[in-house]
Chains A and B, each alone.
Chain A
Amino acid sequence: MTRRQRVAVVLVFVTCAAAAVAGLSALGSASAGPLSAALGWVGAMTGSIEHRVRERVEGPGRRARLEWVAPYRDDAARLRKPEVVLLGAYDGDIPRTLDGVVALEQRIDAPLPIIQAYAAWGDRTDQQFPLQLLTAINGLGSIPLLTWEPWLIDFESGRHPHLPLRDARDQHGLAAVSRGAYDFYIDAWAAAAARFGKPMLIRFGHEMNDAYRYPWGPQNNTKEEYISAWRHIVTRFRQAGARNVLWVWSPHVAYEYWDLYYPGDAFVDWVATGVLNFGPIAQWSKWWTVAEIFGTKYERLASFGKPVMIAEFGSLAVGGDRAAWYRDALATLPERYPAVRALVFFQARDDQTVTYQKVDWSFAGDSLVSAAVRESLGWAPR
């Protein structure tokens, strides 16, 4: 063959092979097994060790500054009855990095001992127990709060032939959870949580009384089904020895009868709700104050006798004075709502769960709001 022919043959071969790779990779999907769980553990330990080495070299880090959090971070019993208000945040860069939380902390000049992350049920690797993230949060001195969303359709039918087909899965899906159809997944999490060992908060199936948002809502399930699924999950975790997990029950208090979804004192450690002011961006919303969203329901929330958490706290910018909204809400919060023991800033930058357009909940770029929050948090423990 001449040189030209040879080069042509090689080029044709490379092109065909590249096309084949592109085609096949469109078909495949990732999944996780016991080996990746073991390797994930190695990864988490590597990070933990490296963090400790760095503290040796560079001196103590954030964990040392959060020494006062240690009783709650290390003792689940104390975390059930905190004597102070624990601030926290969810940041849009989680789980890639926790930088956003630390940056927010500096901007508002108040420590954020709780760091929230969201995890969906399913087969994908990012839907398995996030050991590395939790280890990193703990290593940084904070307490992890995990919002755990039962997206039943994210389990592949091929891998779980005992499950109904995806189209039929959400209908009374929580009843299937109670029957044990998802125990393969729940038990894996329970065992991993027990191995993790440090106190952690799990907010399972939040806003379960909102029929317009998540598949675990009342459009698919009855109250009784929700409660029984909750109790089933908590029981599986307890049987696996995961006593370090605290359960955060979090209804949407704008809808009526939300308190009927309460799973019972023996199964709940914290009572939570979201306080998000969407402003006038949608037909169903207007500029609401915290007193309007939360104040009217506070007494009922506190009546369960559990510490109360505002698990998603924030306001959009359009339609009012955002700085005033935060100042108004925060400055006198401990006196007005003494049962509130945790407040978690919601700092998603491109939230699309409720609205058709992406909305930005963060106030990182707004120095007026940052200043208002900073000035209103004089009472924050540190």
Chain B
Amino acid sequence: MLYVVLSLAFWYAVSRIVLGWVNYAAVARPPVRPVPNGVEVAIFTTSARGEPRAMFERTLAACGRVRYRHTTYLLDDTRDPRFRELAERHGVVWLELLDVPGAKAGKINRALALTDEPFILVLDPDHIPFPEFFDHVLGHFEDERVGFVQVSQAYYNQRRSFTAAGAAEQTYAFYGPGQMGLYGHGACVAIGANCTFRRSALASIGGHGIGLAEDLVTAIRLHAEGWRSVYVPTIVSRGLVPEDLGSFYRQQLKWARGVYEVAFTELARLTRRLTWRQRLSYLTIGTYYLFGVTTPFFLAIPYLFLWTGVQPATMSFAEFLAVAAPVAVVGASIYLVMQRWLCDPRGERGLHWRGMMLKIACWPVFLVGTVLAVFHAEIPYIPTAKEAVRGRFLRLAWPQLVLIGLYLVTITRVFVMRTRGTSEASLELSAEAVWGMIAFATLPVIAAFGALYAAWQARRLPATAPWDDIDVDAIGGDA
């Protein structure tokens, strides 16, 4: 029984590597297409109650500096007159859209009805577009079959905390070779920010999708409708990544729940209308968060053995390593090789150890997301926090503290047992199994310390807002 469970967990890990490889095998970069003249294009950005005006100052100023002629709309439901004043000061059209169900996507659909530009860039308000933004995008719409063009997503605040660095590291591979591979398979997806849609494409699926993974829902519906998508792996805007652990956990829960929602509802419903490569791609995306289901089994194995002597397989630790090593080497080399396709190789190359630590620490969040999805339970729509939120240390860190505590108790018990309890004649013959298991238990504990540090950092708010240092006049030209 235990053996079967563990085998499944291993197979999942191996199949992730294989799926990643299948994805990277298709890596493609779209051709550069000249920008057509006279295309009418709109920028939609939304504001909600509680979002900081200082951030909008910069975003709207940057929108004004985007070179291609366009109209910017602020989709506002703050009921705060200062937002109207702010919009008008930056030459932005202010649309007050009150009591619209469906959060951000609902407002976008309402605004679509009020406007008529054939192309719409949906811009998250924390994202500061570069002046050359549309120069990289609009040419691709010359092909009438293209429904949306997604550009890379990058950040300007990843150096401000451990969490921010880790969260950003987790996205580097996705926005580089990940999306380029999806593009190669004809399935690059829309992400909440920086996606430019063709109005007729959105109209063909009844408007922008709504829900936790509204972006992914929109993408899969457009693909099912036969629209093509283009991924431009170029950084033409920078935004925010969660800076504190609590916000990061909330973001991950939302994504996990949302991704499953797409897998269960949209993928199940639309799968016959997708190409097999698109199906595989969406399956790859849809199973990412199963990591939260398999990780607890891996975590439990050493403790199960050290406390009860139960082993999932009659395999020595050395044998296990010998079998697992080639898999690990293949996985790591794929990861290193594919780093040549990162969007900003100089800034993004590396081992991404913070990202890995946060991912390992995040398994309870993924697991909750999985369980909620299987039992069809809702979680409320949570906009990803723009500013760091102060978190109580214990509230964020208790899963890690429990793990570290269990580890220390176990180590102590092992030490006492093996100096007093275990017979001398069994000692050397059981050493490999016991210390191998302890080594196996140590890796997640090291990762837990990363998350612990992140939770510690979240106790104090940074003195400045991330956008304080952004000079809109100087930004851009990364590409």
Residues of A within 8 A of B (CB): 1-3, 6-7, 9-10, 14, 17-18, 21-22, 25, 30, 32-33, 35-36, 39-40, 42-44, 46-48, 50-51, 54, 57-58, 61-62, 95-99, 101-102, 125, 132-133, 135-136, 139-140
Nearest CB of B to A78, in Å: 24
Q: Is the CB of B428 within 8 A of A50?
A: yes
Nearest residue (CB) in B for A101 is B425
Residues of B within 8 A of A (CB): 3-4, 7-8, 11, 264-265, 268, 315-319, 321-322, 325, 373-376, 418-420, 423-432, 435-436
- Which of A47, A57, A102 has most B Cβ within 10 Å? A47
Question: Which listed residue, A14, A61, A97, touches B430 by the CB 8 Å rule?
Answer: A97
Question: Which listed residue, B315, B374, B431, touches A50 by the CB 8 Å rule?
Answer: B431
Q: How far does the alpha carbon of A99 sit from the alpha carbon of B425 in the complex, in Å?
A: 5
Q: Is the CB of A135 within 8 A of B268?
A: no
Q: Is the CB of A140 within 8 A of B7?
A: no
Ordered nearest first, which 7 A-B pairs have the shortest CB separation? A43-B432, A47-B431, A47-B428, A39-B318, A136-B428, A98-B425, A36-B322
Q: How far does the alpha carbon of A345 sit from the alpha carbon of B321 in the complex, in Å?
A: 37
Q: Is the CB of B319 within 8 A of A139?
A: no
Q: Is the CB of A17 within 8 A of B268?
A: no
Q: How far does the alpha carbon of A242 sit from the alpha carbon of B325 in the complex, in Å?
A: 31
Question: Which listed residue, B264, B265, B375, B429, touches A97 by the CB 8 Å rule?
Answer: B429
Question: Which listed residue, A40, A47, A101, touches B427 by the CB 8 Å rule?
Answer: A47
Q: How far does the alpha carbon of A58 sit from the alpha carbon of B430 in the complex, in Å?
A: 18
Give the tally of cross-chain contacts (CB within 8 A): 118
**Residues on the B chain within 8 Å of A10, using CB:** 374
- In the assembled complex, 25 residue pairs joining A and B whose CB atoms fall closer than 8 Å, in A order, are A1-B268, A1-B376, A6-B373, A21-B3, A22-B4, A25-B3, A25-B7, A30-B315, A32-B319, A32-B322, A35-B325, A39-B322, A43-B316, A46-B432, A47-B429, A47-B432, A48-B428, A50-B418, A50-B427, A54-B418, A62-B425, A98-B426, A136-B427, A139-B428, A140-B424
Asked if A96 meets B428 with Cβ closer than 8 Å, knowing A18-B4, A35-B325, the reply is no
Q: Is the CB of A3 within 8 A of B420?
A: no
Nearest CB of B to A4, in Å: 9
Q: How far does the alpha carbon of A51 sit from the alpha carbon of B427 in the complex, in Å?
A: 7
**Residues on the A chain within 8 Å of B425, using CB:** 62, 97-99, 101-102, 140
- Which of B7, B315, B424, B426 has most A Cβ within 10 Å? B424
Q: Is the CB of A1 within 8 A of B318?
A: no
**Residues on the A chain within 8 Å of B375, using CB:** 3, 6-7
Nearest CB of A to B444, in Å: 21
Asked if A46 meets B431 with Cβ closer than 8 Å, knowing A35-B322, A36-B322, A39-B318, the reply is yes
- Which of B265, B315, B317 has most A Cβ within 10 Å? B317
Q: Is the CB of B8 within 8 A of A132?
A: no
Question: Which listed residue, A2, A33, A62, touches B424 by the CB 8 Å rule?
Answer: A62
Q: How far does the alpha carbon of A61 sit from the alpha carbon of B428 in the complex, in Å?
A: 13
Q: How far does the alpha carbon of A135 sit from the alpha carbon of B428 in the complex, in Å?
A: 8
**Residues on the B chain within 8 Å of A136, using CB:** 427-429
**Residues on the B chain within 8 Å of A139, using CB:** 428
Nearest residue (CB) in A for B8 is A17
**Residues on the B chain within 8 Å of A40, using CB:** 316, 318, 432
**Residues on the B chain within 8 Å of A1, using CB:** 264-265, 268, 376
**Residues on the A chain within 8 Å of B321, using CB:** 35-36, 39
Nearest residue (CB) in A for B10 is A21
Nearest CB of B to A39, in Å: 3
Q: Is the CB of B374 within 8 A of A96?
A: no
Asked if A6 meets B431 with Cβ closer than 8 Å, knowing A30-B315, A54-B418, A62-B425, the reply is no
**Residues on the B chain within 8 Å of A44, using CB:** 428, 432
Q: How far does the alpha carbon of A297 sit from the alpha carbon of B7 in the complex, in Å?
A: 56
